[in-house]
Structure 1
């Protein structure tokens, strides 16, 4: 079947993507902040930790955005 792409399905897709991306970003930032604070890390180790935690977070954002697009444009959901 053909995907339903109209204003409302795209608005739903964008809304869900922004919400999930915000939550993942806040979780990653909180994790880096707390681990860095507990271990008293300097600037470079904190940046390295942010990169190590941020890459899986970025993967989660991309994957959830793809899933949101598939769900919002699925003909059975409209």
Structure 2
């Protein structure tokens, strides 16, 4: 994933995430956000932060696969 790749969400996923943002701000900060403000926050997260989450997922997968390969080698018969 390079910086020009953008996470693509379905309409339903986007609506669910916007709803989650609105609920978070209401419950944690006692602020009522509208759809536009919540949408802007979601866009910021996708544009500025998602690459870090993606890269962490890739690294975690790499570590898991490395451990799995080491486990596979342990069943060799001599």
* TM-score clears 0.5: no
TM interval, shorter chain, is 0.3 to 0.5
Bigger relative contact order, structure 1 or 2 (CA pairs below 8 A, ≥6 apart): 1
Q: Which one has a larger percent helix, Structure 1 or Structure 2?
A: 1
Bigger Rg over Cα: 2
TM-score, normalised to structure 1, is 0.41
